[in-house]
Amino acid sequence: MHSESRVFLTGVLCRPDVLRLVVGEVVGEVKLSSASLHDFQSDESVPGTWLAPHSIVQGSVLQTENAQDRDRLDFYCAVYGAEPTQVTVTPANGPEIVVQAYVAAQDTARFELPDRAQPKAVYTRMAEEIMLYFNELSADYVAARMPGIFRRATSYVATLAMPEDKVRDLSRDVVIRERHQPYMNFFAIEENDLQFRRYDGQLSDVVNRGTLHVGQVVVVLPYDPVRDCVLLVEQFRAAVFMSGNRTPWVWQPVAGLIDPGEAPATAAHREAAEESGLTLSRLEDAGQAYSSPGSSTEFVYMYVGIADLGKTQTIGGLAEEGEDIRSRVLSFEALMQALDSHQFHDLPLLSLALWLARHRDRLRLMA
């Protein structure tokens, strides 16, 4: 626990929306004052600072008022690998003062968006999830799972950019009473106690609803219009195994999570190369949809990828991600026969096969 003290804030903590989430209250101007720290450097994507001779960090000094403010700041910064350290800063108006700053190693992981134009609301969403675990999980546990938090935040912010409901006003028609996040690892589970507007115009009773936070996914079915064949990949799927299914090796299109800041089409090309060694000549947009809107946030971008399937590798996947993938090329006719005989158990594959059946003639004429 900490007594009242002054803290030098840098990087992402200089965003008022992030600071409100971390400290747990609205921070007024009277509590903040501009200052600079010499021989250190910072980045807008993280809350810490690190040694960098001849550099200057601009930031703000916050007067914390209670022990919980400092405990919350300590937890948030520790997740990013930054620890409280005594430093001397120079206020904009006044003599040097001794304060606490959060200092990290120079090589501490940062979570920079590839495109600087992307919404910085990603960092707000990350802070929102991180602070759900205050007094629930250790900072070390959360820190080890920060890539997943980063991915979920970028997915959430990207989803916010989708068109709004033209009929309903979500600020009135959905009321969140309480939010819980009882599980977090590679994926996360969130529960809300909420009310929603019923068709009779009244708000529902408070109900508990949960979701598996997955993020945005790309699925691409490689198709060779000259040879009139497709490529499928097979791999062990733990979720299928854990469901009790006795055939957990599943044939699917190429698929994978979209990396933070990555465009869906870019992810489609990347996954095709990683899983099957293919270079796609172009992508045909086959639609976007939630894979299971009753239980998961997974939003799928689907493509048919035009490719030369004359020479393909048999085994693919990234060893560092624990992937062990084999490929199989089969004719369009064999694909349809397998579809009709219910041999496939992957919903995106069924959707893409049916899309291909509808557009196959056009793609062959273009070849």
Q: Active-site residue numbers? A: 321
Query: Are the beta carbons of 300 and 289 closer than 8 angstroms?
Result: yes
| Conformational region of residue 229, where left means phi above 0, alpha means psi within -120 to 50, and beta covers everything else | beta
| Strand pairing class (216-224; 299-306) | parallel
Which residues, in sequence order, are bridge partners of residue 62? 7, 32
Beta strands in 73-227 (DSSP E): 83-91, 97-103, 174-184, 188-196, 207-213, 216-224
- Dist CA 276 CA 254 (whole Å): 8
Asked if 268 contacts 307 with a C-beta cutoff of 8 angstroms, the reply is no
Q: Which residues contact 254 (CB under 8 A, 6 or more apart)?
A: 219, 220, 221, 222, 231, 233, 268, 271, 272, 275, 276, 278, 305
Q: What is the DSSP letter of 31?
A: G
Give the angle 57-59-65 at the CA atoms, nearest 5°: 140
Q: Is residue 157 within a helix (H) or strand (E), and if so which, with residue range? A: helix 146-160
The two beta strands, 282-290 and 299-306, are antiparallel
DSSP string, 64-107: --SHHHHHHHHHHHHHTT-EEEEEEEEESSS--EEEEEEE--TT
CA dist 97 and 6 (Å) reads 9
DSSP string, 331-346: EHHHHHHHHHTT----
C-alpha 310/C-alpha 307 separation (Å) is 9
Eight-state DSSP code of residue 114: S
